[in-house]
């Protein structure tokens, strides 16, 4: 039984990793898979944070050189007046990341408990609605295909709207990458600039969620975190970490190609499937 349970958590981690790099909602797919496998853990949000952290570590590995340059130039611009011209671009990029992070950070702090309560009783219904919203947004954006814009510069309005889109994706079933990338693509940004910024802006939000979880556990505020299942959580974590990396290397180009209409159709089907599971 222990081996079967371990395999279930590993599968959940793999599902998280594969779907994180695509605009189809990793949280929604984890919830659907959890239901199919009959995995019973009390707090879905806590588990989602754990497997999301696995994906977070992968994105840190993938983008560490770019992130390091941004961080270094940010402080160089502040403390070294002689190098402000050369570091200005990454300094502004860092500020845009901060701006894009604020909406999700604030809404997460305010509505986190309410989202947890809703997920406790109506998880699949919420996921179904979220996937339907994702499908609709992706379908509307497909009118702009092919995405051949050369504008690699994201404006302040672009990133502000992407930040708002990311806050909507706090609802399980709503794809974070789908919402943020669709927003910028609709405004005419290039797909490469859009996707890079979309995944980098995910990092501070994911870090914030992890820190809140650690604080809750240490303060004894999260009674639903089962320390007896720590080894299962770790298995799911590493499954997500490895699967995210493999998926990014092997299938991410499908997303980068801009064929969003296919993801739209898929999310519609997944939404209906989640609704059927909820009704049954």
How does residue 113 score in pLDDT terms, banded at 50, 70 and 90? confident
> Could you give the CA distance from residue 172 to residue 153 in angstroms, rounded to a whole number?
30
Q: How far apart are CA 67 and CA 52, in angstroms?
A: 19
Residues 120 and 273 sit within 8 Å (Cβ to Cβ): no
CB atoms under 10 Å from CB of 104, counted, come to 26
Q: Which pLDDT band, with edges at 50, 70 and 90, does 161 fall under?
A: very high
Within 10 angstroms of residue 27's Cβ, the number of other Cβ atoms is 29
Tell me: the pLDDT tens digits for 206-255?
Answer: 988 888 777 877 776 655 556 667 888 899 999 999 999 999 988 888 88
* pLDDT in the model for residue 271: 98
Please compute Rg for the chain using Cα positions.
19
Task: Give 261's pLDDT tier (boundaries 50, 70, 90).
Answer: confident
Cα distance between residue 28 and residue 20, in whole Å: 10
Residues 21/177, Cβ–Cβ less than 8 Å: yes
50 with 237: CB under 8 angstroms? Answer: yes
pLDDT, mean over the chain: 89
206's tokens: 């994911």
Domain ranges of the chain: 2-279
Angle at 180 between CA 27 and CA 57, to 5 degrees: 55
| Distance in angstroms (rounded) separating the CA atoms of residues 183 and 189 | 9
The pLDDT assigned to 244 comes to 95
Per the document, the length of the chain is 280
Summarize the confidence of residues 112-135 as an average pLDDT: 89
> 3-class SS at 2?
helix
What integer pLDDT is reported at residue 119 of this predicted model? 83
DSSP 12-36: HHHHHHHHHTTTT-HHHHHHHHHHH
Query: Which residue in the block uniquely carries the two structure tokens 């950070």?
Result: 105
CB 144 within 8 A of CB 184: no
Query: d(Cα 171, Cα 264) in Å, to the nearest integer?
Result: 18
58 token code pair: 């992968």
* Nearest of 99, 76, 58, 46 to residue 203 by alpha carbon: 58
């Amino acid at each position: 039984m222990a081996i079967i349970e371990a395999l279930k958590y590993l599968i959940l981690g793999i599902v998280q990793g594969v779907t994180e790099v695509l605009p189809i909602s990793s949280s929604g797919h984890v919830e659907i898979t959890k239901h199919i496998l009959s995995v019973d853990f009390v707090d879905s949000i806590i588990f989602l944070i754990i497997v999301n952290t696995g994906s977070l570590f992968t994105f840190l590995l993938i983008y560490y050189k770019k992130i390091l340059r941004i961080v270094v130039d940010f402080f160089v611009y502040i403390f070294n007046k002689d190098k402000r011209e050369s570091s200005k671009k990454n300094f502004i990029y860092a500020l845009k990341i901060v701006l894009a992070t604020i909406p999700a950070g604030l809404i997460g702090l305010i509505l986190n408990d309410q989202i947890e309560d809703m997920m406790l009783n109506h998880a699949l219904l919420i996921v179904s609605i979220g996937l339907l919203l994702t499908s609709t947004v992706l379908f509307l954006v497909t009118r702009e295909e092919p995405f051949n814009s050369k504008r690699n510069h994201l404006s302040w309005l672009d990133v502000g709207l992407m930040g708002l889109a990311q806050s909507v994706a706090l609802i399980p079933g709503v794809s974070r990458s789908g919402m943020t990338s669709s927003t910028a693509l609709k405004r005419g940004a290039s797909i490469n600039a859009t996707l890079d910024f979309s995944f980098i802006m995910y990092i501070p939000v994911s870090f914030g969620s992890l820190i809140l979880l650690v604080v809750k556990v240490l303060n004894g505020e999260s009674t639903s975190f089962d320390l007896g299942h720590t080894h299962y959580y770790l298995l799911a974590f590493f499954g997500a970490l490895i699967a995210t990396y493999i998926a990014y290397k092997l299938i991410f180009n499908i997303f980068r190609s801009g064929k969003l209409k296919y993801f739209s159709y898929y999310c519609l089907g997944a939404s209906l499937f989640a609704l059927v599971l909820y009704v049954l």
